[in-house]
């Protein structure tokens, strides 16, 4: 986790530096705020990874001498199939059409989104399809 | 000697794939990154063909000074949709949706992407977004016609009313979210699902480049999405964020757009840099020269790319010229490092001129032209001189056509891994020469037109008939490029399931060549010991480890871990 | 490989090679120095304003570097492609790092970049300087034409689409431009000036140039501005100061209608092409 955190924190620091230079040189609030946003996007995950990297043992993937046996076991839960992403995307599609062709498209749009949200959560909870 | 161990990957889930649905339902419900990646590949190549057809119409319109193939209004739709399709729907999704989706998990020894259902959602959003954007052609007012950059206030409801523009915004919202989700997925996959021993500095260059690309997506795309919502609000909710009338600032749109738009250039380019790096190394039978330098170059391109957006806005007269000039010029340094590392990779190699290798070398040369002309544009006086002329058009077409070469190379190189079958090499090489020569014939006249003062986005040029010859040559180049695409399709048909590839047809170096072609459901039945960024090579050629400068050519015993 | 063995002359092989490189490199540079002002134009032209010439020289400098660097890279690639093509199944030496070489091609580009930046700044400061001016023209861009007004004088020229309005300015005089837009973003671009600037709604863009040559030069909108973007032309007519005064006087001495007809005539002298023209308006102010 150390390298990962260093990359993100390093990017955050660099953007911080750029934001400072840009602000004091050009006084342009639009760009400065956007670069500060970039800085935060570096620091937020970077800090999280740093916090964890000090609290966990070296993971097999960070150990240059790890054998494949060290990684044996369950890697994670990977659902084999799921219809909910498609349902959710169709919901988003109808919602976007509502932006163009009329508010009534929101009815199927939001219905599909809500249906997909419940369906997806339920699928994760019962472990079915996973 | 390298030890190989079975790594039982999610044994309790593997058998399930046999009971899964088939046919259309399988396609609709799959969460397998390889099938999703393949769907992305097919969809994005179709988008390339659509975008290419629009490009040919543009070129044929320009063969005469007063072209009458399309009307002025249709021409505006053509180049707007050509740019939008190529940038939003082809190049990006082809890189981070298609190839990264398929390859990144396999290259790092992961069973799938970190969030498989999110991955599926990304694809469906992308498909729906593409359909939304393209459906503008079927509305009464036609498709969006304000250029792919949609500069305010031209893009507001006063100057561009109609459903086409709204469909363009809607399509971009969907594909934007798709990109963000893919970015999240890639970062999480690379950070959390690497195989044991696959440390960060042992990841293949392609995976490194995809990591930086994914981080850039996360930094840049939310800004675009926010900007699009503001634009929509201006169009329909009566806000005046980008219109002077209500106290808004039109230039703000350009800031927001290019704050996404310039990182987007690297979101497009970095994946292809990664593909080409791998192809050059494999077909030279050498490791990537200066691997660490390559990684740092990629990271610094990513970091710098966030601070250069306003070099697209030099001629607005309201940006800080020296800052953006030096930041843009600085990007030439890591890019140069990459080019010299590519040369170092093929230097003293055993170069095998397969189609993929030809495409990769063609990429380096074409990209070099685009890169060098990019240095000019980082200089404000030279930008004032060439801004919005065909010089700029030629510059970025050199770059993106180089990406097409790289992408084609990637299809020839990795296609066999995904499908299990090779493509015909003879047709492939003919395709390469059509494409490579076509690109140069296509772009070089455009440079000259730009220097002669031809502005971009011109449907007709009645005052300057002397531009016709160069435009005709450029059109001929575009025809050659089109023919190369036809050859590619012919090649797929001719080679359909004809030449079985085997697991490792190119003597590949990275993990994807260790598994079967096509890989099994969760990618690996077994994994080799990972002790460098070339685990498959180390396994196949244990006596030919990578060497640092000055190290004699003997295997380093100290680095070999006893089994 | 390159052992520093002393040759009979007491010069190392490395030094000898360096001398040879210097001799070879000196040739094109000497040729360049000898040819003097006949440095190739690399497709650009010097233009007709004072700063367009500086831009042109900057262009030449960039181009020389680009040709050298690009030529070097292409030569290296072609050499590798020819020399190292596959000649058997042997595995080449797996060299991966060469730190001195890598540092060289990191540091040298840095130096080149700073050189380019310095040259850029010199030209940019010259181009964007704001010297005192006697002539000011207010340029207003609109869909799809241009309006040129001369503050303090009664002169105004308007034209739309192919009926190009003509901006008349005196030669060898600093001309100050106030550039505005009435609707969307337009681009003020005169190829012979090697210069362009956006006309932004809500923003007053100012710049100064000094034409050093008389003649009529084509200008055009470069930023997409809607349907008739391709037809949004104008011309810049650089005349002698006397002619300029006469031209200005034609607006003040005659009545508005005759001024309008004069401008109309000037506009119609440009050949109307077979592209359909929408509207033509042209009149003297007040």
- Identify the pLDDT of residue C79: 95
> Chains A vs B: touching, with 3+ CB pairs under 8 Å?
yes
The two structure tokens encoding residue B441: 């014939």
- Mean pLDDT in residue range B370-384: 95
User: Do residues C194 and C230 share a domain?
Assistant: yes
User: Per the domain annotation, does B15 fall within a domain?
Assistant: no
Q: Does residue C276 contact residue C228 with C-beta atoms inside 8 Å?
A: no
User: Do residues C119 and C182 share a domain?
Assistant: no
Number of separate domains in chain B? 1
pLDDT for B536 beyond 60:
yes
What CATH number corresponds to the domain at position B380?
A: 1.20.210.10
* CB atoms closer than 10 angstroms to residue B272: 29
User: Per the domain annotation, does C91 fall within a domain?
Assistant: no
| Chains with 3 or more CB pairs under 8 A to chain B | A, C
Are the beta carbons of B31 and A80 separated by less than 8 Å?
yes
Are the beta carbons of B3 and A90 separated by less than 8 Å?
no
Asked if the C-beta of B23 comes within 8 angstroms of chain C's C-beta atoms, the answer is no
Number of separate domains in chain C? 2
CA distance C265 to C251: 14
CA distance A58 to A78: 24
- Mean pLDDT in residue range B156-161: 89
Crossing angle, helix B390-419 and helix B100-107, to 10 degrees? 60
pLDDT for A36 beyond 60:
yes
pLDDT for B11 beyond 60:
no
List CB contacts (< 8 A) between B452 and chain C.
43, 191
User: Do residues C219 and C104 share a domain?
Assistant: no
- In Å, how far from its chain's centre is CA C263? 30
Write down the pTM of the prediction: 0.89
Q: Which residues pair with C178 in a beta bridge?
A: C138, C206
pLDDT for B9 beyond 90:
no
- Identify the pLDDT of residue C220: 92
Segment B195-237, tens digit of pLDDT: 999 999 999 999 999 999 999 999 999 999 999 999 999 999 9
User: Per the domain annotation, does C5 fall within a domain?
Assistant: no
Q: How confident is the model at residue A121 (pLDDT cuts 50, 70, 90)?
A: confident
- In Å, how far from its chain's centre is CA A126? 24
Report percent pLDDT > 70 for chain B. 94
User: Per the domain annotation, does B561 fall within a domain?
Assistant: no
Q: How confident is the model at residue C286 (pLDDT cuts 50, 70, 90)?
A: very low
Segment C178-228, tens digit of pLDDT: 999 999 999 999 999 999 999 999 899 999 999 999 999 999 999 999 999
Q: Which of C81, A46, C9 is nearest to B350 (CA)?
A: C81
CA distance C216 to C266: 12
Q: Give the nearest partner residue to B455 out of C95, C99, C189, using CB atoms.
A: C189
Q: Give the nearest partner residue to A81 out of B31, B171, B256, using CB atoms.
A: B31
Q: How confident is the model at residue C13 (pLDDT cuts 50, 70, 90)?
A: low
Of the two residues C250 and B326, the one the predictor is more confident about is B326
Are the beta carbons of B462 and C110 separated by less than 8 Å?
no
What are the two backbone dihedrals, phi and then psi, of residue B11, each rounded to the nearest 5 degrees?
A: -60, -30
Q: Does residue B147 contact residue B141 with C-beta atoms inside 8 Å?
A: no
Q: Does residue B347 contact residue B361 with C-beta atoms inside 8 Å?
A: no
List CB contacts (< 8 A) between B128 and chain A.
89-90, 92-93, 96
- Identify the pLDDT of residue A85: 94
Are the beta carbons of C187 and B387 separated by less than 8 Å?
yes
- The enclosing H or E element of B364 equals helix B355-377
Inter-chain CB pairs, A–B, below 8 Å: 194
Q: How confident is the model at residue C117 (pLDDT cuts 50, 70, 90)?
A: very high
- Mean pLDDT in residue range B150-164: 90
> Chains B vs C: touching, with 3+ CB pairs under 8 Å?
yes
User: Do residues C119 and C187 share a domain?
Assistant: no
Q: Which of B172, B176, B165, B157 is nearest to B239 (CA)?
A: B157
Residue B144 class from Cβ within 10 Å (0-12 exposed, 13-18 middle, 19+ buried)?
buried
Indicate which of B381, B405, B445, B549 best probes the interface with C, i.e. most C CBs within 10 Å of its own CB.
B381
Q: Does residue A83 contact residue A69 with C-beta atoms inside 8 Å?
A: no
Are the beta carbons of B66 and C274 separated by less than 8 Å?
yes
List CB contacts (< 8 A) between C122 and chain B.
none
Q: Which of A99, C185, C184 is nearest to B168 (CA)?
A: A99
Rounded to two decimals, the ipTM of the complex is 0.94
User: Per the domain annotation, does C92 fall within a domain?
Assistant: no
Q: What is the per-residue DSSP string for C133-177?
A: -SEEEEEEEETTEEEEEETTTTEEEEEETTS--EEEEETTSEEEE
Indicate which of B27, B152, B196 best probes the interface with A, i.e. most A CBs within 10 Å of its own CB.
B196
User: Do residues C142 and C260 share a domain?
Assistant: yes
Segment B465-477, tens digit of pLDDT: 999 999 999 999 9
Strands C174-181 and C135-142: parallel
pLDDT for A75 beyond 80:
no
Query: Residue C259's domain spans which residues?
Result: 135-269
Are the beta carbons of B21 and A81 separated by less than 8 Å?
yes
Q: What is the 3-state secondary structure (H, E, C) of chain C?
A: CCCCCECCCCCEHHHHHHHHHHHHHHHHHHHHHHHCCCCCCCCCCCCCEHHHHHHHHHHHHHHHHHHHHHHHHHHHHHHHHHHCECCCCCCCCCECCCHHHHHHHHHHHHHHHHHHHHHHHHHHHHHCCCCCCCEEEEEEEECCEEEEEECCCCEEEEEECCCCCEEEEECCCEEEEEEEECCCCEEEEEHHHCEEEEECECCCEEEEEEECCCEEEEEEECCCCCCCHHHCEEEEEEECHHHHHHHHHHHHHCCHHHHHHHHHHHHHHCCCCCCCCCCCCCCCCC
Q: Which of C141, C177, C137 is nearest to C159 (CA)?
A: C141
CA of B239, closest CA in chain C: separation in Å? Answer: 17
User: Per the domain annotation, does C233 fall within a domain?
Assistant: yes
Segment C68-103, tens digit of pLDDT: 999 999 999 999 999 999 888 888 988 888 899 999
Per the prediction, chain B carries an average pLDDT of: 91
CA distance B469 to B316: 32
Q: Does residue B238 contact residue B230 with C-beta atoms inside 8 Å?
A: no
Asked if the C-beta of A48 comes within 8 angstroms of chain B's C-beta atoms, the answer is no
- Mean pLDDT in residue range B11-31: 67
User: Per the domain annotation, does B174 fall within a domain?
Assistant: yes
- Identify the pLDDT of residue B169: 96
Q: Which of B64, B462, B69, B63 is nearest to C276 (CA)?
A: B462
- Cβ partners under 8 Å of residue B40, min gap 6: B93, B94, B97, B98, B101, B123, B126
* CB atoms closer than 10 angstroms to residue B126: 30
Segment B388-415, tens digit of pLDDT: 999 999 999 999 999 999 999 999 999 9
pLDDT for A50 beyond 70:
yes
Looking from the CA of C160 toward its CB, the CA atoms found within 13 Å total 13
- Identify the pLDDT of residue C31: 55
DSSP C277: P
Are the beta carbons of B66 and C223 separated by less than 8 Å?
no
Residues 159-218 of C with CB under 8 A from B: 162, 183-185, 187, 189, 191, 194-198, 200-203, 205-207, 218
Q: Which of A79-93, B332-346, C183-197, C268-282 has the lowest mean pLDDT?
A: C268-282
Residue with tokens 């640092």: B548
Q: How confident is the model at residue C14 (pLDDT cuts 50, 70, 90)?
A: low
User: Per the domain annotation, does B21 fall within a domain?
Assistant: no
The two structure tokens encoding residue C220: 């055009």
CA distance C125 to C130: 9
Per the prediction, chain A carries an average pLDDT of: 89
- Mean pLDDT in residue range B417-439: 95
Are the beta carbons of A78 and B111 separated by less than 8 Å?
yes
Sheet with C145-150, edge to edge strand ranges: C155-160, C145-150, C135-142, C174-181, C205-210
- Identify the pLDDT of residue C25: 56
CA of A55, closest CA in chain B: separation in Å? Answer: 16
- The enclosing H or E element of B212 equals helix B205-236
Query: Residue B58's domain spans which residues?
Result: 35-540
CA of B81, closest CA in chain A: separation in Å? Answer: 18
The two structure tokens encoding residue B379: 């200089």
- Identify the pLDDT of residue C155: 86
Indicate which of B124, B129, B260 best probes the interface with A, i.e. most A CBs within 10 Å of its own CB.
B124
CA distance B554 to B552: 6
User: Per the domain annotation, does B29 fall within a domain?
Assistant: no
Are the beta carbons of B197 and A61 separated by less than 8 Å?
yes
Residue of B nearest to C89 (CA): B350
Asked if the C-beta of A68 comes within 8 angstroms of chain B's C-beta atoms, the answer is yes
pLDDT for C160 beyond 80:
no
User: Do residues C105 and C159 share a domain?
Assistant: no
User: Per the domain annotation, does C286 fall within a domain?
Assistant: no
Are the beta carbons of B388 and C196 separated by less than 8 Å?
yes
CA of C249, closest CA in chain B: separation in Å? Answer: 30
pLDDT for B262 beyond 90:
yes
Give the Å distances, CA to CA, from C100 to C97, C103, C106, C244: 9, 5, 10, 63
- The enclosing H or E element of C126 equals helix C99-127
- Mean pLDDT in residue range B537-548: 87
Q: How confident is the model at residue C34 (pLDDT cuts 50, 70, 90)?
A: low
- Identify the pLDDT of residue C278: 31
- The enclosing H or E element of C190 equals strand C186-190
User: Do residues C149 and C265 share a domain?
Assistant: yes
- Mean pLDDT in residue range B515-522: 89
Q: What is the per-residue DSSP string for B505-521?
A: TT---SGGGTS-SS--T
Q: Does residue B285 contact residue B506 with C-beta atoms inside 8 Å?
A: no
Strands C215-221 and C233-239: antiparallel
- Identify the pLDDT of residue C251: 82
- In Å, how far from its chain's centre is CA B149? 18
| Chains with 3 or more CB pairs under 8 A to chain A | B
Q: Which residues pair with C168 in a beta bridge?
A: C237
Q: Which of B86-100, C151-165, C188-202 has the lowest mean pLDDT?
A: C151-165
User: Do residues C55 and C118 share a domain?
Assistant: yes
Are the beta carbons of B545 and C94 separated by less than 8 Å?
yes
The two structure tokens encoding residue B409: 């190379």
User: Per the domain annotation, does B330 fall within a domain?
Assistant: yes
User: Per the domain annotation, does C38 fall within a domain?
Assistant: yes
Q: Which residues pair with B455 in a beta bridge?
A: B389
pLDDT for B511 beyond 90:
yes
| Chains with 3 or more CB pairs under 8 A to chain C | B
- Identify the pLDDT of residue B19: 57
């Amino acid at each position: 986790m150390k390298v990962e955190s260093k990359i993100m924190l390093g990017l955050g620091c660099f953007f911080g530096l750029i934001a400072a230079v840009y602000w004091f040189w050009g006084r342009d609030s639009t760009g400065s705020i956007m670069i500060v946003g970039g800085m935060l996007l570096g620091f937020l995950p970077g800090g999280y990874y740093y916090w964890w990297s000090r609290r966990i043992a070296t993971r097999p993937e960070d150990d240059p001498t790890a054998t494949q046996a060290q990684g044996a076991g369950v890697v994670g839960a990977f659902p084999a199939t799921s219809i909910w992403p498609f349902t959710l995307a169709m919901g988003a599609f109808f919602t976007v059409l509502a932006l163009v062709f009329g508010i009534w498209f929101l009815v199927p749009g939001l219905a599909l989104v809500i249906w997909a949200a419940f369906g997806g959560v339920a699928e994760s909870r019962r472990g079915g399809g996973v | 000697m390298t030890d190989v161990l079975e790594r039982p990957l999610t044994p309790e889930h593997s058998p399930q794939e046999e009971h899964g649905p088939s046919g259309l339902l399988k396609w609709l419900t799959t969460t397998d990154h390889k099938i999703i990646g393949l769907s992305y590949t097919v969809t994005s190549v179709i988008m390339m063909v659509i975008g290419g057809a629009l490009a040919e119409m543009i070129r044929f319109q320009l063969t005469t000074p007063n072209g009458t193939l399309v009307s002025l209004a249709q021409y505006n739709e053509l180049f707007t949709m050509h740019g939008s399709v190529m940038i939003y729907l082809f190049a990006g999704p082809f890189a981070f949706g298609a190839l990264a989706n398929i390859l990144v998990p396999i290259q790092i020894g992961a069973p799938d992407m970190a969030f498989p259902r999110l991955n599926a959602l990304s694809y469906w959003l992308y498909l729906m977004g593409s359909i939304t954007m393209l459906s503008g052609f079927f509305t009464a007012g036609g498709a969006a016609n304000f250029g792919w950059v949609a500069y305010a206030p031209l893009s507001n409801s006063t100057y561009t009313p109609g459903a086409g523009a709204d469909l363009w915004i809607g399509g971009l919202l969907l594909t934007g979210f798709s990109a963000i989700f893919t970015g999240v997925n890639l970062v999480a996959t690379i950070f959390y699902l690497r195989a044991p021993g696959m440390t960060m500095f042992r990841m293949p260059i392609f995976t490194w480049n995809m990591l930086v690309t994914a981080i850039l997506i996360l930094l840049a795309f939310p800004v675009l999405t926010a900007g699009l919502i503001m634009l929509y609000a201006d169009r329909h909710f009566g806000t005046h964020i980008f219109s002077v009338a209500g106290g808004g600032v039109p230039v703000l749109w350009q800031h927001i757009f290019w704050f996404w738009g310039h990182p987007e250039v690297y979101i497009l380019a970095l994946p292809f840099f990664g593909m080409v790096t791998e192809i050059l190394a494999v077909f030279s039978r050498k490791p990537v020269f200066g691997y660490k330098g390559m990684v740092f170059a990629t990271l610094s391109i990513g970091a710098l790319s966030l601070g250069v957006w306003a070099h697209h806005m030099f001629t607005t007269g309201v940006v800080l010229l020296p800052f953006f000039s030096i930041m843009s010029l600085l990007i030439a340094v890591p890019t140069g490092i990459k080019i010299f590392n590519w040369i170092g990779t093929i230097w003293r190699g055993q170069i095998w001129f397969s189609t993929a290798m030809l495409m990769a070398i063609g990429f380096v040369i074409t990209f070099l032209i685009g890169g060098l002309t990019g240095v000019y544009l980082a200089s404000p006086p030279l930008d004032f001189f060439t801004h919005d002329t065909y010089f700029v058009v030629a510059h970025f077409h050199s770059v993106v056509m180089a990406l097409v070469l790289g992408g084609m190379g990637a299809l020839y190189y990795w296609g066999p891994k995904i499908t299990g079958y090779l493509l015909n090499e003879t047709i492939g090489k003919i395709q390469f020469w059509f494409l490579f020569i076509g690109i140069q014939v296509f772009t070089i006249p455009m440079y000259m037109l730009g220097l002669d003062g031809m502005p971009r986005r011109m449907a007709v040029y009645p005052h300057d008939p002397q531009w016709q010859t160069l435009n005709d040559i450029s059109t001929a180049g575009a025809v050659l490029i089109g023919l190369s695409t036809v050859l590619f399709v012919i090649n797929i048909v001719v080679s359909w399931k004809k030449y079985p590839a085997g697991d490792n047809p190119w003597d590949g170096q990275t993990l994807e060549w260790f598994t079967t072609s096509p890989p099994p459901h969760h990618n690996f039945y077994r994994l080799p010991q990972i002790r460098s960024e070339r685990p498959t090579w180390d396994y196949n050629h244990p006596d030919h480890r990578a060497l640092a400068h000055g190290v004699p050519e003997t295997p380093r015993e100290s680095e070999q871990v006893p089994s | 490989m390159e052992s520093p063995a002393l040759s009979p002359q007491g010069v190392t092989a490395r030094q000898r090679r360096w001398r040879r490189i210097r001799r070879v490199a000196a040739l094109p540079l000497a040729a360049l120095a000898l040819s003097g002002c006949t440095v190739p134009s690399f497709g650009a032209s010097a233009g007709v304003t004072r700063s367009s010439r500086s831009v042109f020289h900057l262009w030449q400098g960039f181009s020389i570097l680009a040709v050298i660097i690009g030529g070097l890279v292409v030569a290296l690639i072609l050499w590798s492609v020819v020399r190292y093509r596959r000649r058997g199944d042997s595995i080449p030496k797996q060299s991966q790092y060469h730190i001195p070489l890598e540092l060289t091609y990191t540091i040298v580009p840095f130096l080149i970049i700073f050189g380019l930046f310095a040259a850029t700044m010199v030209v940019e400061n010259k181009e964007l300087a704001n010297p005192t001016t006697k002539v000011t023209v207010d340029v207003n861009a609109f869909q799809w034409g241009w309006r040129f007004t001369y503050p303090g004088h009664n002169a105004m020229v308007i034209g739309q689409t192919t009926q190009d309005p003509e901006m008349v300015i005196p030669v060898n005089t600093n001309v100050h431009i106030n550039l505005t837009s009435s609707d969307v973003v337009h681009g003020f671009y005169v190829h012979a000036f090697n210069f362009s600037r956006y006309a932004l709604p809500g923003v007053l863009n100012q710049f100064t140039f000094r034409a050093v040559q008389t003649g009529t030069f084509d200008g055009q909108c470069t930023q997409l501005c809607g349907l008739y973007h391709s037809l949004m032309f104008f011309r810049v007519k650089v005349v002698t100061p006397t002619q300029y005064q006469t031209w200005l006087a034609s607006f003040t001495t005659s009545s508005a209608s005759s001024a309008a007809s004069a401008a109309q005539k000037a506009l119609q002298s440009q050949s109307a092409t077979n592209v359909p023209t929408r509207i033509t308006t042209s009149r003297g102010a007040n």
